[in-house]
Chain A
Amino acid sequence: MTAQPALRYQGHYAGAVSRLASFVIDIVVSAGIFCVALAAISYGAQVITGNLVSWNHSTGVVAGLFAAWELAYFGFSWATNGRTLGMAVFGIRVVRTDGAVLEPRHATVRALVFPFSFLFCGLGFLGILVQREHRALHDLAAGSAVIYAWTVRAPGSGPEA
């Protein structure tokens, strides 16, 4: 792939496909980590207490833990790097509406409002499609935007910075 065509996307507002694809990666990865962590806790408890620990009868607890974990996963990723693992794969990044780096408090607001975008059949995400700057409900609440921000290499150049 030549560098120049890809360069034209850099800095522009990211669209629905990139954001959906990155979200799918994030949800798969974070859910996988959560399941492994649950299994590790069960195994550790079984080794220590000698009793088999099952999560089947405590779905409310598991759901609460999962929600907290997702909040931490997305909030921490946005606050520290401006992007999650899935966003890194697709070369997109969360920034402030003026292009500045997302601060932790904005990342926290974004992570807290993020679940509300799923309400009413995902009405909060409609902004990604119809809004000029592709900003969803959580973007509007946190004053953030998602842009293409992968560093494109010219053919034969060195490794990615």
Chain B
Amino acid sequence: MSSRDRAGKRWTDPAEALAQQVTERVVDLVVGAIDVNEIVARVDVNAIISRVDIDAVLRKVDLNELLGQVDVNELAQRIDVAGLVEKADLGAIIAQSSGGMAREAVDAVRYRTAGLDQVIDGWVRVLLRRKDPAPPPLLAVQAGP
């Protein structure tokens, strides 16, 4: 380094340090003067979201890769099964499902027995050579709830 360069550096280094100090001070003042909450309040988030094409974003997501990164076993261990079972009224659920099955079974038995009634009625009608149609229903049909 020549003597001329050393003399120049003696001037430029303090000037550079001063410029940096001034810049930092200015930034501090500007940042301090800005009310971030007010700016955020002015932002129309709904308008921004409406511009986003979520479908396009979702299409870009590789779910298989994401799921591959998930440790399912660890996730399963974190689930409080006992707590869930405690909260769920399993007795009511089982009673409801088994009750529904029982009702379905009883309905099926009734339906098949009524079918047998019709078969026997048909035989009797043939034996008696009855031509007149079966009598109309005594009561109107009532559908279930």
Residues of A within 8 A of B (CB): 1, 3, 5-18, 21, 89-91, 95, 97, 99, 129-130, 132-134, 145, 147-154, 157-161
Contact = CB atoms under 8 A, between A and B. Distances in A.
A86 B30 CA distance: 90
Which residue, of A6, A12, A150, has the highest number of chain B Cβ atoms within 10 A?
A: A12
A152 B106 CA distance: 11
Contacts of B116: 15, 17-18
Interface stretch (B21-29, B84-92, B137-145): B137-145
Contact of A130 (B124, B141, B145): B124
A12 B108 contact: no
A147 B139 contact: yes
A10 B124 contact: no
B139 A95 contact: yes
Contacts of A153: 103, 107, 144-145
Nearest to B127: A130
Interface in B102-140: 103-104, 106-111, 113-114, 116-118, 120-121, 124, 128, 132, 134-135, 137-140
Tell me what chain B mostly uses at the interface: helix, strand, loop, or mixed. helix
B55 to A, nearest CB: 32
6 contacts: A6-B110, A10-B137, A10-B139, A18-B117, A90-B110, A129-B120
B137 A15 contact: no
Contacts of B114: 6, 9, 14-15, 18, 91, 148
Interface residues of B, number: 31
Contacts of A14: 114, 117
Q: What are the 9 A-B residue pairs with the smallest beta carbon separation, nearest first?
A: A15-B117, A11-B137, A11-B139, A153-B144, A91-B110, A17-B116, A9-B114, A12-B137, A10-B141
Contact of B138 (A1, A13, A152): A13
Contacts of A95: 138-139
Contacts of B111: 1, 5-6, 9
Tell me what chain A mostly uses at the interface: helix, strand, loop, or mixed. loop
B143 A152 contact: yes
A140 to B, nearest CB: 15
A148 to B, nearest CB: 6
A60 B76 CA distance: 72
Contacts of A147: 137-139
A30 to B, nearest CB: 20
B47 to A, nearest CB: 42
